[in-house]
Amino acid sequence: MALLFSWEVHGASKSAADYARDLESTERNAKREAAYQLSRMGREARVALPQLIKALEDDQQQVWFGAVTALANLGPEAEPALPALLRELESWEPSRRDRQGAQALYRTAAALGAIGRPSVPALSNGLSSTKWQVRAGSVMALGFVRPAATETLPAVTRLLGDPRAEVRDAAVETVVGFGVPAVDLLIPMVREDKSAVTRRTAVDTLGRMGAAASTATEVLRAAIGGDTEEAVRAASVSALARIEGRGTNVVPVLLETWRDGPASVSLAAKRELLLVQPVGHRVVPFLLAELESGDIQRQRRAADLLREFGPDASPAVPLLVGMLRQTESSKEPDAVIVAALAATGDAGLRAALDEAGRFPEASNRAHHWTREVLRRLDGTTAPALGAALTHPVPAVRALALESLTALGTAARGESRRILPLLKDPAPMVRARAWIAAPSCGVAAEPLLAQFDQALKDSEFEVRQAALEGVARLGRGARPAVPKLEALLTGPDERLQVAAVKALGGLGLEAAPAADSLAQRLPDASPELQVELLSALGSMGTAAAPVVSKLGPMAESQRPEVRRALMETAARLGEGGREALAWVTNGVRDAHPGVRASSLRAWAALDGMSDAAAEAVASGMEDPESEVRRGALEAAIKLGERARLTEPRLFALLRAGSERELVLEAIRAIHPVSVPDLQAILTDEDWKVRQMAADALARLGKMAEGALSDLERLQREDPSEDVKRACRRAVRRIREG
């Protein structure tokens, strides 16, 4: 017979009789090798049967494993081992170190089952044992015996209602193996059993049988609509679909249940509908009828399901478009219907572009929902979008460019089609082409070659877009910095703002323009001053040489300017220490946003000083939450240097203010107050308890006073994460 369990055979160096003698040896390695080799010999190992039976008592896991495997491979010839194997079943425990947990139970059952018919009486008795492991092992073993154990099928089937999940699971496997003869026993259980657990397990078993359980379809249909337990109804949905092979016949039942059933049952039906193939022929036609129902709730549910089918749902596109047209007067298009249309891919794309083509002029009405559909497209639609760039209607070309911009480098293959549109007759198309080109991978050189012309464009929209597009080039835009710098003193402030934003977008690459930006500050409008400061801040340490020219902004009457100044200072690095004078004054500013930004800047510029830490500690007591948040963020940056804020941090934690940020700050400062940490070990939030345990672990021997609390939590805390943290803490404290 074939080996029940086998490994690659390399050839034994001794005979089975020799290995039988080695099994009786006192030398542990020899016994392990003998058990292993005998487990690979099949019927040749029968000469070692007495020794193999004795080896079942061995305390070496490897010896036991080899012996029970060898007995299983002997099959009926291992009948003398029946009493010993039954004792193994009786004495099995999941935590025995000399066995292998559930694997040992399975191996024992396999050996009993391999013996065949002689084991059936004992296994039949085991089905009613008071020990769950005996019931589970017996029912597993009978699964190996079948069909010689047909008379035990009623008793095996009754175990589908066993109180132990392990027994039920084993019973399911065995009953499924019996096939058609078991179906007649399962049908009454589904229909009549008082236990919901039993009914559900019977249903799951029928589902596992597939087409063999075809006579149970009526009882399952009845359970879907009439069982008192949702879990049974949901399981019946899945079982019926599996038995019917998810064919056309079951689709109406699944759709009705998905549409009208309670939440969990509806979800089960939806899962099964998603597995029906081909959905385009079997499911979509039913959903089209739902879209035509006129009932908005039914329509939205159908659209939500159609979204899962992707391009297979393309027959629904005309209906989805019609529904979206009806929503044009509402503030926002229906997101569910938009998502369903976008999920169809090219079909949805073409429909959206055709809709936009109905309105030559861009308008909110024309693009009420088409833009939303296009925003949801993925990279597979890039070729279709590229083709739309030649559409005769400018609005369509503009929308296609927007969508390609959103796809970014996923649309790189269409970049060659974008460049000519920089000279498109329609301003809206030229503007969107400037944004799309760098996003989709058009090289810097051809773009910069047309930059001068774009800056002279008659439409401000195009000039502004050209500036934004150049900023998206990053390092490649360095040659354009002098041109951007020249725009800072131009006659159009809107263009000045756009140029400053472009320089800010370039970051360090725009460093040569730092002085020009700083010189423009005194006479600029507040809006432009904010943008100028932000652009300088984006340059980081490269803007430090102009810090002396920024100070006058600290006297601005506009709080947004003073705040922008502080945020810029925070990014200047060590070279910006000259800014400390007005940063330290900023913590007393009347505006909370300025105070918060000043604290962050002080921590960034002078984090080693006690004065910075003291200012941060004071900020934690500010009446404005924005300032307290700024102080907490500054403390996080300071780390251990902000340890003097520890009492205030624990006070904020107890008050429940800015809890997540407070926790992060406490972690950053590495707290040393054992009483405070010990107190929050009882906090209702597991993350707080875990943090406290981790902090105490870091303190080692210093946290000895918290040992008893940590030991209690490592036993009793409901969170496994907290238990692990407490175990680490206890170990480290004891190790000192």
> Which of 645, 664, 683 lies at the terminal end of a domain, its last residue?
664
Alpha helices in 589-640 (DSSP H): 592-605, 610-619, 625-638
Residue 201 domain-assigned (yes or no): no
**Do 559 and 655 belong to one domain?**
yes
**Do 595 and 657 belong to one domain?**
yes
What CATH number does residue 731 fall under?
A: 1.25.10
Closest CA to 202 of 225, 172, 178, 180: 172
Residue 631 domain-assigned (yes or no): yes
Q: pLDDT at position 721, please?
A: 94
The answer, as to whether pTM is greater than 0.85, is no
Residue 230 domain-assigned (yes or no): no
**Do 724 and 654 belong to one domain?**
no
**Do 648 and 559 belong to one domain?**
yes
* Alpha carbon distances (Å) from 40 to 27, 69, 651: 21, 8, 68
Residue 647 domain-assigned (yes or no): yes
Residue 299 domain-assigned (yes or no): no
Closest CA to 518 of 538, 535, 495: 535
Angle, helices 61-74/102-115, rounded to nearest 10 degrees: 30
**Do 649 and 678 belong to one domain?**
no
What is the extent of the structural domain holding 702?
A: 672-736
Q: Give the CA count within 13 Å in the CB-facing half-sphere of 80.
A: 11
**Do 659 and 689 belong to one domain?**
no
Q: pLDDT at position 292, please?
A: 95
**Do 655 and 703 belong to one domain?**
no
Q: pLDDT at position 93, please?
A: 83
> Which of 618, 635, 664 lies at the terminal end of a domain, its last residue?
664
**Do 691 and 621 belong to one domain?**
no
Q: How many CB atoms lie within 10 A of CB 664?
A: 15
Terminal-to-terminal C-alpha distance of the chain: 61
- Show the low-confidence residues of the chain (pLDDT under 50): 1-2, 7-10, 363-364
Q: pLDDT at position 357, please?
A: 84
Mention every residue, 6+ apart, whose C-beta is less than 8 A from residue 643: 613, 669, 670, 671, 672
Residue 650 domain-assigned (yes or no): yes
Residue 495 domain-assigned (yes or no): no
In one letter, which amino acid is 402?
Answer: E
> Which of 664, 689, 707 lies at the terminal end of a domain, its last residue?
664
User: Model confidence over 321-363: pLDDT tens digits?
Assistant: 999 988 776 778 899 999 999 999 999 999 999 888 877 665 4
For the chain, how many residues are written? 736
Tokens linked to 417:
């089609």
- Burial class, 157, CB count within 10 angstroms (exposed 0-12 / middle 13-18 / buried 19+): buried
